[in-house]
Chains A and B, each alone.
Chain A
Amino acid sequence: MITRGRRLPRWTPYAVAGGSLAVAEVTEKTTVVSGRSGVVLVAVATYLVASTAISAGVEGRRRCIDRLAGTLLGAALLMALIPLVLVLGYTVAQGMHRFDATFLLHSMRNVAEQQPGGGAYQAILGTIEQVGIAAALAVPIGLGVAVYLAEYGHAARLGRAVGLVVDVMTGLPSIVAGLFIYAFWILLLGFSFSGFAGSLALAVLMLPTVVRSTEEIIRLVPHGLREASLALGVPVWRTILKVVLPTALTGIVTGVMLGIARVIGETAPLLLTVFGNPSINADPFSGAQSGLPLFIFNEAQQPYPAAIDRAWAAALALVLIILGLNVAARLLARVASTVNRR
């Protein structure tokens, strides 16, 4: 039984961990094991063996397995967080080299790839325009679909079909969205590469995110509110526009922001629709443009250190925008939930 038998004191794991580290340090001094990664590996192995042996001796087999499982699951969490720390850490550390006024305010016009200097102004401008237009296209349609699914579509056959297609489109590879707009807008209709073509592809990718998050929020609006409005003789459509949507507004804004954060880093569709451009092209409706993700992709493939530095700086700019959007969306969601609870 679980309540009987000897148990190890609470501080055991810390003591074993300390001991394992000491063993690893000694191993590094005396044997072929070398370097930080070697020490960590030896320490982890020693910890697993030692804590399992001690626990098996004192607490018995079942508690020992329980302890081992807990350790391994905790290790899984650490392993999941290591890449996050490494990727963000490198982006900040390497991005700082070139994250300056020149970088933010100048383009790559007349700058050869091996030269230092140059900047991502044209890319930042392009990204803002492309994502802005994409949101202007996807948000109204997405909102309409969400209202349809939440208010009308539950029972209808068409509603189920739309729900299924939205789910399928959530898993649409971004490159396929790019190919679609290339095949339709550029090959078939004969338009040229442009920021707007990129916006179309991004809108296709943004649509399912906006639909799903806003639909969920609209469903959360209390039925009492709708019924009160209907009982006063307000027609259904005015109830939805004047009561349901305003109540859900902060949630909708959160959903839109997460949708923007989701597509602003997309590179693949832009490659096939916007194409990339080292010079400033402020007109999203004609001619190839640049974009932050495209700029990173292009610079990362250059064999020159100056280009790699520009890639990191652009990555830092992109990550800062995305993190900003995510944090703002979370804060907004929190504010909204405390207001609603009152």
Chain B
Amino acid sequence: MRGDRAFRLVVTAAGIVVLMILAAITIFLIVEAVPALRADRANFLTERHWSPDENPPRFGIAALALGTLMTSVLALLIALPVSVGTALFLTQYAPRRVSVPLGYLVDLLAAVPSVVYGLWGLIVLVPHLIPLSAFLADHLGFIPVFASNQTYGRSVFAASLVLSVMVLPIIAAISREVFLTTPVEQVEAAYALGATRWEMIRTAVLPHGRPGLVSAAVLGLGRALGETIAVALVLSANFDISVHILTPGGNTIAANIANAFGDAGTIGRGALIASGLVLFAFTLVVNLLARAVIVRHRNTLGAPR
């Protein structure tokens, strides 16, 4: 069977190409980042500012990494209740005839490209957010998170809001699938004991779906961490580290790459590649984490995707 062996060789080679691409991403990013890191006169992990093309070059990941985590976690906090609620409503409340087309619509949110979200966020959302931000700062300003002495739309809050819209369909789609695998016996047992629909959800659907929800949230976080263009358009960047989400503050690794790449010199581009390497490591850890959760609960979740 010479043909069989050759065919098997060809498709196995395709599989190996995939492994090689991931290895190549790691290797070439490191190779191009090292010269810039060597030239850095500041500590890459603790320095806040980003001036790699000055003499001497000084740049660090501290403000960028914190800004990335802050916008992503905030986006996740906004998106999680909405998307899980959406998934519960579509699987447990809406009749099938309605839930299928509504499910398509929610999935459609994932099809809109990030640059269109960025354009909408910058031109439409940001001006409309100024009154809301002012209201929050006036009435809840005693809480440090909302403290702000200026009314400014292109804030961390605005960026997180746009990010949350982009994360929402991912979490909603995965949780919908998870909720659909709830064993019918458990649902019927809850009803037989006299539970209302909400009590059934709390005792049967949610406990069964918890590991799936965790991995859905983690995958959503991964998406938010790497999102570039929408943040680059909406957030007015600086290199402060602050918890005031209503002020323009912070920047994210991905958005900084998009904004600074055009004007960067040799060391500047190497420095951006180094920051990209950090982002790559972040998302790698997050995705492996989500996968580990799914694999550990494979028996209870039915067929994993």
Contact = CB atoms under 8 A, between A and B. Distances in A.
Contacts of B194: 1-2
A154 B15 CA distance: 13
Given A75-B85, A84-B109, A315-B116, A179 B272 contact: yes
Residue from the set A147, A183, A212, A311 with the largest chain B CB neighbour count within 10 Å: A183
A264 B169 CA distance: 19
Nearest to B2: A235
Nearest to B226: A173
A66 B120 contact: no
B151 interface: no
A315 B185 CA distance: 48
Contacts of A235: 1, 3-4
Interface centre among A86, A142, A153, A315 (most CB of B within 10 A): A315
Given A80-B168, A297-B115, A168 B105 contact: no
B89 A169 contact: no
B298 interface: no
A144 B106 contact: no
B190 to A, nearest CB: 11
B116 A176 contact: no
Interface string A291-304: 00100110011000
A65 B222 CA distance: 34
Contact of A144 (B11, B24, B88): B11
A174 B226 contact: yes
B81 A267 contact: no
A116 interface: no
Interface string A93-116: 010000000000000000000000
A8 interface: no
A74 B276 contact: no
B276 A265 contact: no
Given A76-B85, A148-B12, A323 B111 contact: yes
Given A183-B29, A296-B119, A322-B112, A169 B226 contact: no
Contacts of B233: 297, 300-301
Of listed B3, B6, B276, B290, residue having the most chain A CB within 10 A: B276
B19 interface: yes
A175 B86 contact: no
B143 interface: no
B18 A76 contact: no
Contacts of A164: 291
Nearest to A316: B116
Contacts of B112: 84, 87-88, 265, 319, 322
Chain A's interface size range is 35 or more
A188 B32 contact: yes
Interface in B58-114: 81-86, 88-90, 92-94, 102, 104-106, 108-109, 111-114
Contacts of A246: none
Interface stretch (A21-29, A128-136, A236-244): A236-244
B-side interface mostly: helix
A336 interface: no
Nearest to A271: B258
B106 A145 contact: no
Given A76-B81, A81-B105, A81-B106, A171 B120 contact: no
Contacts of B225: 173
Interface string B249-287: 000001001100110000001001100100110011011
A84 B105 contact: yes
B287 A312 contact: no
Contacts of B25: 172, 176-177, 180, 204
Nearest to B32: A183
B219 interface: yes
Interface in B200-229: 201, 219, 222-223, 225-229
A186 B8 CA distance: 34
Interface string A251-293: 0000000000100111110011000000000000000000001
Contact of A188 (B28, B172, B226): B28
B197 interface: yes
A91 B116 contact: yes
A91 B228 CA distance: 20
Contacts of B119: 296, 300, 311-312, 315
A294 to B, nearest CB: 8
B81 A265 contact: no
A202 interface: no
29 contacts: A63-B196, A70-B198, A77-B89, A77-B90, A81-B106, A90-B120, A144-B15, A147-B11, A151-B11, A162-B19, A165-B19, A167-B287, A170-B287, A171-B219, A172-B25, A175-B257, A207-B21, A237-B3, A261-B111, A265-B112, A265-B114, A266-B113, A267-B115, A267-B229, A268-B114, A268-B228, A297-B233, A315-B116, A326-B108
Q: Which 8 A-B pairs have the closest CB atoms?
A: A265-B113, A173-B226, A76-B85, A144-B14, A237-B7, A66-B196, A69-B198, A268-B228
Interface of B: 1, 3-4, 6-8, 10-19, 21-22, 24-25, 28-29, 31-32, 81-86, 88-90, 92-94, 102, 104-106, 108-109, 111-120, 122-124, 165, 168-169, 172, 194-199, 201, 219, 222-223, 225-229, 232-233, 254, 257-258, 261-262, 269, 272-273, 276, 279-280, 283-284, 286-288, 290-291, 305
